[in-house]
Structure formats: structure tokens, C-alpha cells
Amino acid sequence: MNTATSERLYKEAEEHIVGGVNSPSRSYRAVGGGAPIFMEKGEGAYFYDVDGNKYIDYLGAYGPIITGHAHPHITQAIQKAAENGVLFGTPTKLENQFAKMLKEAIPSLEKVRFVNSGTEAVMTTIRVARAYTGRDKIIKFSGCYHGHSDLVLVAAGSGPATLGSPDSAGVTKNIASEVITVPFNDSESLKQALETWGEDVAAVLVEPIVGNFGIVEPKAGFLESVNELAHANGSLVIYDEVITAFRFMYGGAQNLLGVTPDMTAMGKIIGGGLPIGAYGGRVDIMEKVAPLGPAYQAGTMAGNPASMNAGIACLEVLQQDGVYEHLDLLGKKLEDGLREIISSHSIPATINRLKGALTLFFTSHKVSNYEEAEQSDGKLFARFFQKMLQQGIHLAPSKYEAWFLTIAHTEKDIDETLLAAKRAFSEMEEE
Ligand code: PMP
């Protein structure tokens, strides 16, 4: 495969853009380095790169592109917004319309606020939880990613429930000391953390279905115990549904699982591919937000007409009959095919899948928390990633990411992908 133009553009990018990329996850450092592929065009389930190569896309832009690229209904909505003027700095009726749609889909959102990214949404839920409870600390789960605001760039220490340490230069030790990290799917450690720091804990923050160390579902009863333990302690429960909202069904993971948080942060899919974030929850909590309450949050671009229109259009597409059934069907076909390949080769691998999202871990053990996800062999993943790319299958360049299906993917795409995966496994076995 000729990728000379991508290589040239990457060299140029490195001269002007730090690291050559505008988000570190786009770099190929974790998969052996080299130039990331520069895309020219996306259409349905496919990418076309600057050298004219075609790929089946399983990146889905890290989650938002559930309808496939350039879905005509969303494209039209964006065009219409552009013609009407993209930004007013005043309220528009689109914001009402979209807020109502979100509330109908996810009933725990008694009041919502639109922001511009998942990072902002999560960051603000934490601020509001602190304002509501008058407490400073939060508890989060190791390996979950909640954007790049200071408070959530805190890594676990060693031990089941620990005060964090900065996970990024520039995050102060003081900030890290406000975050307690416990293993996902481990109610006992959460209980222990609440016993130790309980009076100071404003909120427990969790991805109800994890998307950031691969797709990992909560064990039966885990989220119920998060609610019980947090509430008994006077702490709030915040769901980070930036990946999960509208991924597995029309609504949130909370609808699917039947567990209700006090506040929810969203992003990705709800913008139909344009920048967006949103947060919401119980009205008595949300009323702490300015201009009604003392917790400040604002945004020049927040609720802008283009993002609103794209988001509404995206949800309209997702309301159509059969959308989530199609994603599940294709997901199952992909999972079954990959399992067959795994079982007929000697490479250790396992799969976690929920509906149209899956992760292939290069470990023979099952994965239900970050520690287990870390066991996935990064070198094997890197080889697999490169071999798939060479065959026109575009995965996320990290062993921790999910493969995201879109409604534009077809059974034929899955067949092609499985053929490529079979070849990749066979070559890896022989090498
Ligand atoms: N929360 C979760 C669960 C995410 O996966 C992400 C992004 N990958 C974020 C928050 C941050 O969202 P954004 O990149 O839009 O700031």
C-alpha cells in the first residue's frame, strides 16, 4: 500500500503541530510509530486517504460517527445551519428542541446544559457535585478516561483504593489528592474508599459501560452497589456517558442497565460529528448552575446552531426502526468470526463485545477491569493493527480502544474484515 503522501504530510505536520497530531491518540507511537494515515474523505463505512487508498473504518472518530461518514440527513442539517448563520450568542429554538429530545431519551436528565466537549461536560458535573454537596473529593475507577481536565488526569496509586497521583505533568499534587481511584467492578474497594474518605466525597464518577480500556461491562449488581454506597454516604453518582449515550440503544447505558445516576455527562454521538458536550441530571442539583446557582459554567460556542442541528439530525437517524438491531447483528457476526479465528490459531486473544462495539484483547484471560486489560499484549496488537491497516481495515491505534460499527457497515464489510483478520493471525503465527 502506497502511503507516501501521508508520510510527507506527517513530516510537514511535525514542523507545525506539536507531535504532528492534534490529539495524542491519533499518533501511531503505541503501534510501532510511523506516519498516521491522513484521510481525505469519509463516506459511509469507508475512509479514503490522501494516497487514494480505501479503508473500512472501525474508528468511528473514537465514537461519534455511529451513522457512518457524511450521512445525508446530518450533512443537510449542517448545511442548513451554515446558511442560517453558524453562531449568534443568543438562545435559539434548536437548543430547546434538542434538550427536549435528550430528556425524552434519558429521563434522569431533568435539566440539561450544552457545552462543547466531553471534557467540559465531565469537568462541570464534578464542579456542580462539589457545589451541591459542599465536599471536595471524588472517587473514580482506574483506567476510565474522563477527558483531560486536571481532576480526572489522576492515576491510581498501588493498592485497591488509593489517593491518586498526577497522571500528567502540570497536574498538581494537591489536585491529585482530591481524587481517589478504585478498580472497576470492585464494590468492596469502593466501600473501603468511602469508609476512609466518605465525609469528603462529593461524587463517584463512572463510565457505566467502560469504553476506555476496551469495552468492559459492569458485573451484575456493580452499578447498583455504586448507587447504594454513594447515596448512603451523601455522595452523588455521576455517569460519564460520553461514549455510551446512544451507542447501544436509543438513550443511555443507564436505560439499558436500568440504573439511574444523579448526573450524566455526554458528548460524541449527540453531536452527529460536530463538537459537543452536554451534562444534566436532577433538577435540585442542576439548579446550582449559574445563572440560577453559585456554580459557574459558560461557553461562547455552547449550544451553537450547527452542533444542535447536527445532533438533532443524528438522533433522528437513530430513531429509525432497526438501527440498533443492525448494529447488534453486525457486531455479533464480527465477534463470532473473530472467535472462530482465535480458536483456530495459537495467538492468545479474547473479545468483549456489546452490540455494535467490541474490543479484541491479546490475552487469553477475560477482561473485567483495567488491570486485566493491561495484560493485553501491546506488541501483538501493534502487529495486528499494522497488518489490518495494510489490508485496508482501519482500527484505532491502541490496544485499549473499541472497534465501533456504524449503521453504514454491511455484512460484506464484516466478511472482508474477517478475511483480513484471518490472514493477520496466520501471518503472526508463522512469524
Ligand atoms: N469521557 C469519556 C468516557 C471519553 O471517552 C472521552 C473521550 N474519549 C471524554 C470523556 C472526553 O471527551 P472529549 O474528547 O470530547 O473532550
Question: Per residue in 166-216, pLDDT tens?
Answer: 889 999 999 999 999 999 999 999 999 999 999 999 999 999 999 999 999
Give the residue among 240, 241, 237 at the shortest CA–CA distance from 226. Answer: 237
In tens, the pLDDT along 115-151 reads: 999 999 999 999 999 999 999 999 999 999 999 999 9
Query: Mean pLDDT over residues 263-278, rounded?
Result: 98
> Strands 137-141 and 179-182, how do they pair?
parallel
Residue 282: pLDDT band with limits 50, 70, 90 = very high
Query: Mean pLDDT over residues 225-249, rounded?
Result: 98
Query: If you compute the radius of gyration of the chain from its CA atoms, what whole number of angstroms results?
Result: 21
Give the pLDDT of residue 165.
83
Q: Would 4-70+321-430 and 72-318 be classified into the same CATH topology?
A: no
Contacts of 280 (CB under 8 A, 6+ apart): 102, 103, 106, 108, 109, 110, 111, 112, 113, 263, 264, 286
Give the pLDDT of residue 156.
72
Distance 226 CA to ligand 1 centre (A): 21
Dist. CA 103–CA 339, nearest whole Å: 38
Helix-helix angle 93-105:305-318, to 10 degrees: 30
Ligand 1 pocket, 341 CB below 6 A?
no
Give the pLDDT of residue 160.
72
Give the residue among 402, 424, 421 at the shortest CA–CA distance from 413. Answer: 421
Ligand 1 pocket, 45 CB below 6 A?
no
Q: Are 271 and 125 in contact (CB under 8 A)?
A: no
Distance 262 CA to ligand 1 centre (A): 19
How do the domains of the chain map onto residue ranges? 4-70+321-430, 72-318
Dist. CA 47–CA 223, nearest whole Å: 37
Residue type, 373: A
Atom of ligand 1 lying closest to residue 241 CA: 3
Query: In a 10 Å sphere around its CB, with 0-12 CB exposed, 13-18 middle and 19+ buried, how is residue 4 labelled?
Result: exposed
C-alpha cell recorded at residue 431: 512469524
**Bridge partners (DSSP) listed for residue 386:** none
- What residue's CA is closest to ligand 1, atom 7? 147
- Give DSSP secondary structure letters for 353-412: EETTEEEEESSSS---SHHHHHTS-HHHHHHHHHHHHHTTEE--SSTTPPEE--TT--HH
Q: Please identify which residue in the block is written with the cell numbers 493493527.
A: 385
Ligand 1 pocket, 114 CB below 6 A?
no
- Indicate the average pLDDT of the chain: 97
Give the residue among 63, 406, 95 at the shortest CA–CA distance from 266. Answer: 63
Q: Which fold has domain 72-318?
A: Aspartate Aminotransferase; domain 2 (3.40.640)
Question: Count of CB atoms within 10 A of residue 22's CB?
Answer: 9
Residue type, 241: E
Dist. CA 352–CA 428, nearest whole Å: 21
Phi, psi of 256 (to 5 degrees): -65, -40
Ligand 1 pocket, 307 CB below 6 A?
no
From 154-168, 303-317, 354-368, the region with the lowest mean pLDDT: 154-168
Distance 145 CA to ligand 1 centre (A): 7
Residues annotated as part of the active site:
145, 240, 268
In tens, the pLDDT along 298-356 reads: 999 999 999 999 999 999 999 999 999 999 999 999 999 999 999 999 999 999 999 99
- Taken in order 381, 351, 63, 272, the sign of the CA dihedral is positive
Ligand 1 pocket, 243 CB below 6 A?
yes
Residue type, 310: A
C-alpha cell recorded at residue 58: 472501525
In tens, the pLDDT along 48-85 reads: 999 999 999 999 999 999 999 999 999 999 999 999 99
Distance 144 CA to ligand 1 centre (A): 10
- Taken in order 382, 386, 391, 394, the sign of the CA dihedral is positive
Statement: residue 158 has pLDDT above 70: no
Ligand 1 pocket, 242 CB below 6 A?
yes
Residue 262: pLDDT band with limits 50, 70, 90 = very high
Edge-first strand listing for the sheet containing 236-240: 111-115, 277-281, 263-267, 236-240, 201-206, 137-141, 179-182, 162-163
Give the pLDDT of residue 164.
79
Give the pLDDT of residue 186.
97
C-alpha cell recorded at residue 399: 490496544
Q: Are 369 and 183 in contact (CB under 8 A)?
A: yes
CATH assignment, 4-70+321-430? 3.90.1150.10
> Strands 111-115 and 277-281, how do they pair?
antiparallel
> Strands 201-206 and 277-281, how do they pair?
unpaired
